[in-house]
């Protein structure tokens, strides 16, 4: 294969890996509603033993 063909294969492989990583990525705080964020923060603070917010 020519050099351009190898560069295209590498580009496709890297692109597919980035798409896969973006698809399976889960943010730390699930959901966007304020209630879900507050629930997550309460759970984290209780887990660390720092008390309520």
Domain locations in the chain as residue ranges: 3-48
Give me the pLDDT at residue 30, please. 60
- The pTM of the whole model exceeds 0.75: no
Give me the pLDDT at residue 20, please. 93
The tens-digit pLDDT sequence of the chain (53 residues) is: 567 888 999 999 999 999 999 888 876 666 668 888 888 888 888 767 665 55
Give me the pLDDT at residue 52, please. 56
Gyration radius of the chain over CA positions: 21
Judge whether 29 and 42 are in contact, CB under 8 Å: no
């Amino acid at each position: 294969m020519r050099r351009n063909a190898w560069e295209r294969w590498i580009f496709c492989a890297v692109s597919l890996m980035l798409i896969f990583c973006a698809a399976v990525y889960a943010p730390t705080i699930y959901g966007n509603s304020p209630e879900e964020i507050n629930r997550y923060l309460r759970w984290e603070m209780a887990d660390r033993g720092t008390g309520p917010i």
